Amino acid sequence: MEITTKEFKHCVMLNLNGRVDSFTAPQFSKAMDKINEAGTYKIVVNMSGLEYMSSAGFRALLATQRNCKRYNRGEVVLAMVPARIHEALELAGFTELFRTFDDALAAVGQF
Amino acid sequence: MRTVIYPAKFEFLDEIRDFVAEVARDGGFDDKEIYSVQLAADEAASNIIEHAYEGIADGQIELTCEVRGAELIISMQDHGKSFDSKKVKKPNLKVGLSERQIGGLGIYLIRKLRDEVKYRSSGTGNLLTMIKRKG
């Protein structure tokens, strides 16, 4: 798993690449916590380079979504979600908790 | 039938997923089915590491894969604490963000992704068998 972040005026884009599982999810959590600690609660998780995500990654997303939406201060949105990962998110009932965008820059622009 | 013994550590999940994918691919399963086989195996192994071997550093997972006709049979034997997945409550997927449960999701996914899931617990550990049918 590899993570890079890019700051925009109103949000941060987190590019999530590779595989997220129980081994790597803590690192993913930490990266999102770091964005929150810096005072940004609007996050675009760009999944265009993501190959795999287990429920450990879903749980990390859920915890951050709760933190971001508190006091209406922000939101986590997902961009360019690969089909297999989208199917798994749907199975887990997560597609109702996250808005998804086909285009990463459109996701940035709506904030 | 192929069996590999893995240390019960999260860093081996990658290898576990690669192994089941290879057997599924050789058995003629398509990419979508292979992904779901990998996900179910990962969730099962993660549960063993997290729950059956909670507090135990040197546990092992004996992973056996076999393609029999149109069925892929994956079993995982551990020697950890008895863990009955039937007792894990199904997460309520209808509730909103604040009430959404963090736990139980892995087992829920395993049940959804497999055609058949069998679980046997004895004094010496647990045996989980998951069956996926082609097509």
Q: What is the pLDDT of residues B26-50, one digit of tens each?
A: 999 999 999 999 999 999 999 999 9
Which pLDDT value is given to residue A54?
98
**Residues A34, B36: Cα–Cα separation, whole Å:** 31
Q: Specify the CATH number for the domain of residue A97.
A: 3.30.750.24
ipTM score of complex: 0.94
Distance from CA of B127 to the nearest CA of A (A): 21
Nearest to B101 by CA among B113, B88, B92: B92
**A68, closest residue in chain B (CA to CA):** B97
Instruction: Give the number of domains in chain A.
Output: 1
**Residues B68, A73: Cα–Cα separation, whole Å:** 53
Distance from CA of B57 to the nearest CA of A (A): 15
Predicted confidence pLDDT, tens digits, chain B (135 residues): 999 999 999 999 999 999 999 999 999 999 999 999 999 999 999 999 999 999 999 999 999 999 999 999 999 999 999 876 667 778 888 888 888 877 788 989 999 999 999 999 888 899 999 999 998
Contact A93 B93 (CB under 8 A): yes
Fold of B2-133: Heat Shock Protein 90 (3.30.565)
User: Sheet holding B2-7: strands in order across?
Assistant: B2-7, B60-68, B71-78, B125-133, B116-122
- Quote the domain boundaries for residue A60: 2-109
Q: Give the residue from A55, A61, A91, A94 with the most B CB atoms within 10 Å of its CB, the best one to mutate.
A: A55
Question: How many Cβ pairs within 8 Å bridge chains A and B?
Answer: 63
Name the pTM for this structure: 0.95
Question: For A3-25, how does the pLDDT look when each residue is reduced to its tens digit (9 = 90+)?
Answer: 999 999 999 999 999 999 999 99
Burial of A102 (0-12, 13-18, 19+ CB in 10 A): exposed
Q: Which residues of B touch A69 (CB under 8 A)?
A: 97
Residue A33 scores a pLDDT above 70: yes
Interface contact A97, partner B, CB < 8 A:
yes
Which pLDDT value is given to residue B85?
67
